[in-house]
Structure 1
Amino acid sequence: AQGLIAAIAGREVLLRATPLRPGAWLFIVVTLGALGIAAGYELFEWLVVVVANHDTQVAYLATQGDPWDTQWDLFLCLVGAALSQLVLSRPHDRQLGLRV
């Protein structure tokens, strides 16, 4: 849900507030924006773990023993952002009254 929500919300903001139109540039900017939000959250998560005590670290991080948890989160954000745009961009454009 992380990439999906950020992508559709970001897409709407960019279509309404910038001269960007549906196409490759919008797709790239939205996808990178969603990845940026996810990366920011992962950095915040890391900062909490660095500052907190051991019990809080274990409870907050919740990686379930997976050392690749951060990379998986970012990969799934990328997949969610890309798929949501591929599947929902046409209905979204119609809803906004843009030419499809």
Structure 2
Amino acid sequence: HHGANHPVQDLDSGEVMITSQNHGFAVDERNLPDTLRATHRSLFDGSLQGVHRTDCPAFSFHGHPEASPGPHDVAPLFDHFIELIEAARGGLRQSAT
């Protein structure tokens, strides 16, 4: 995927965000270990676009959320990142939701 205006769906909320992409590879969801769960999927080709660790406070998004092609489409990714930092600062172990 290359360019802006790539629709990606949040699998938890069902919401669609418009993202900026620049990658030539994708993770095969069938090969995910038990410690990763799928969180986002491309609506262009169904490829995996995001994962969340189930055993520690970490996640990944396969795109460029900092590019913000939609008005505030990817803001929840940054919000979640801040939540994980704040939970770690408080000595809490964030559960994967």
The alignment's TM-score, normalised by the length of structure 1, stands at 0.26
Bigger strand fraction: 2
Bigger helix fraction: 1
- Considering only CA atoms, is the larger Rg found in Structure 1 or Structure 2? 1
The alignment's TM-score, normalised by the length of structure 2, stands at 0.27
